Structure 1
């Protein structure tokens, strides 16, 4: 092999310098290629109590670990030689269009994670053309979320309180503000045992103890934002001073029944979805009651530990009631491939909670944009690699759920 001294014109094409990014937030976000990357950034930038509230779940945290593992334990079956030069990731859900097969799930205490909170999520959802869900336990009011997302789709999530009049007053406000869907959450008769929160002494507002001050030292930006913006409070209820678990047990009504659900449905003018379905029998029951949709969910593993895995429940529910109601899936979704697998096995739509919050904590509104972009890119790429050009082409033939946890035969 004859050697020679390289000439400048030969080296020039090899020396491509990346344009510098002077915005530190965007530099971090651009380097994040997965939701797990955003989680790592969020953990570095957020005080432990706030991060653990988002990241943690109930008791031994088996439910969320199993839900995430269920998505890892799938096998895709791609079809070859299909024209996938263009893919359509849009769908129709609950009478309206969504540009992607996921929306932002309702999350409580959101401005505690990062001060832009629900406002960031609502604006990012509007840009992406997807629904935004506001929690009863949100830190932005119904009217303020509508102002942040005036032309997009807003959904309201309802916890039925012991004070029924206050609960229905929120429902009336959501209807007046033009929210098109009501998500009635039915899996919280009492608060789950969220041990991370107890160990952290997590309260609203966050308590300044010696431990939290030490934890804040490497995270000054979070505390500056927290102390120089509007005080953190629940927008839909009176101020509370105490732990989250104490608040939930004070508010939530363990006497709610199917009759109450029918009563709520009779008063809500839009679409009604029941969130927290964890058995096939309950899926049938709320479908027979006339629910427009159901959300298969174990509350992100934050209520009953060792609860059923929603993704495992999905195929049976889709076969049984999929023709009669719209099925939405949440819990454990951390990638676009997870979303594609859910749609293939019968979900009409999905909701993302932690994935959105990791983006929020990593970079505020820009971080939510980045989380949505990551999921969107992954959805489109997975569809192309499966040989699918539109969501309605996905089916059970594209996915096999591999068995890891199999029930023992009952005696």
Structure 2
């Protein structure tokens, strides 16, 4: 047996070793309809793809004989000390990927020394996640108002999260209307979902997923619909659609800021002027994000938007980033460009789909190992030492394979 074949077989037997490996495992584990939801973007997918490609537009500065081991990864998010500059960004209805959903993801984040941001559209309520975890996590809020009654729902969600022990609020502001997710619609993930014999077969040939689906039915947004099952999923999707607010203005954020006693961050900032306005109105920080390319197709990549936002408000508040982060080198590049920490969405969902909580823990460990290795090879001892002198614009070159 050749050395190359032996290595390939050994790597295969050990299971996933990169985020790209976990993506392939997740795709095999999930029915086509669910995969379209987990991995799809808006319209052509241009912005979703550019989120990843943006990291290849930067190179890392490498210094030698520094004696540095790159093991200092500590940072602080919302007053909480983290041992890893990576947190779990909010993802809706994660129970579609694995019935353990957000509870498993939050427990995995704790095990890694970081935190999860739990979505308003979570498959578990904020109370259920709090009961299943030892540490306090963060809550993501959609500033929704009922179109039929005009009743603001933000206050109710905020009260529940605060009572359950969540310590920071991330207000998502980039969903005034739903993005045109063509891939989801073509695979039957519209409202309501459309089931065909082929789609049913795609689920049936994945017995582990099908068992979790039938046994636990964690496929709805439980903060909106206090039920389980397919009907509840349809009802919560319709409810979310009816609650979207294209008429939201900055004054609405000001009112939300007044309702939450702790740190409040705005998620979905791509423009430096918006970042400045957010901070002026009391935001304790901003999260540069384009919703993983699921909203406005053609919007700038999150990493491309980061430097201007940092230049404008980075001396006043922390700036975070999510979107396209797939490797430890991506994390290091974002930190060098001014981010305090980065969020991951799809990568941890890949791990969850493939192996439940253990998969999320392994995904975070992969990031940890890759960050340490990258810093060591760069000759940097501490993520706090990273700055723009550690990166430079890359010459034109092909996008790296294996993302």
For the pair 1:289 / 2:272, whether they are aligned, the reply is: no
**1:135-191 per-position Cα deviation (integer Å, ceiling 9, x unaligned):** 01111011111112222x411111111234332101111111111110000000000
- Answer yes or no: is 1:160 the counterpart of 2:143: yes
Greater displacement, 81-90 / 261-270: 81-90
Which SS does the other structure have where 1:223 is aligned? helix
Residue 82 (structure 1) shift:
1.2
Q: Is the counterpart of residue 354 in structure 1 residue 338 in structure 2? A: no
How far apart are 1:31 and its partner, in Å?
A: 2.1
In 1, the alpha carbon distance for the partners of 2:116 and 2:379 equals 30
- 1:220, CA displacement in angstroms? 1.4
TM-score, structure 1 normalization: 0.88
Distance 1:391 1:231, change over 3 A: closer
In the alignment, structure 2 segments of 5+ residues that lack a partner are 398-403
TM-score normalised by length of structure 2: 0.90
Q: What count of residue pairs does the alignment treat as equivalent?
A: 382
Deviates more, 1:306-315 or 1:232-241: 232-241
3-state SS of the aligned residue for 2:153? helix
Q: Which residue of 2 aligns with 1:116?
A: 100
What's the counterpart of residue 196 of structure 1? 183
Tell me the equivalent position of 1:31: 15
Match for residue 170 of structure 2? 183
1:362-373 aligned at under 5 Å gives the runs 362-373=354-365
Give the counterpart of 1:402 among 390, 394, 397.
394
Query: Once superposed, what is the RMSD of the aligned Cα atoms?
Result: 2.3
1:169 aligns with 2:156: yes
CA distance in 2, matches of 1:281, 1:337: 29
Q: Is residue 377 of structure 1 aligned with residue 360 of structure 2?
A: no
Match of 1:333 among 321, 325, 331: 325
**Separation in 1 of the partners of 2:66 and 2:235?**
55
Equivalent of residue 256 in structure 1, options 240, 248, 253: 248
1:321 aligns with 2:330: no
What's the offset of the Cα at 1:208? 4.6
Q: Please name the residue that 1:5 is paired with.
A: none
For structure 1, which segment, 345-354 or 313-322, has the greater mean C-alpha deviation from structure 2 after superposition?
313-322
Matched, 1:272 2:259: no
Q: 2:48 is matched with which residue?
A: 64
Distance in 2 (alpha carbons) for counterparts of 1:121 and 1:207: 28
280-289 or 79-88, which deviates more: 79-88
The answer on 1:100 being equivalent to 2:84 is yes
Specify every segment of 5 or more residues in structure 1 that has no aligned partner in the other structure, as ranges: 1-13, 22-26, 406-411
User: Are 1:201 and 1:243, in contact at CA under 8 Å, matched by a contact in 2?
Assistant: no
**Following the alignment from structure 1 to structure 2, what is the Cα–Cα distance between the partners of residues 250 and 279?**
27
| In 1, Cα distance between equivalents of 2:40 and 2:387 | 33
Aligned to 1:149: 133
Alignment counterpart, residue 234 of structure 1, candidates 212, 216, 221: 221
Instruction: Indicate how the Cα distance of structure 1 residues 293 and 337 shifts in structure 2: closer, same or farther if over 3 A, else same.
Output: same
Partner of residue 401, structure 2: none
Aligned CA distance change for structure 1 residues 358 and 62 (closer, same or farther; 3 Å): same
Q: Is the 8 A contact 2:124 2:218 kept in 1?
A: no
Deviations 1:300-355 (A, max 9, x none): 00000000122112122212210101100011111111011000110011100001
Secondary structure at 1:250 match in 2: helix
Question: SS where residue 143 of structure 2 aligns?
Answer: coil
> Stretches of 4+ moved more than 6 A in 1?
none
Distance 1:29 1:200, change over 3 A: farther
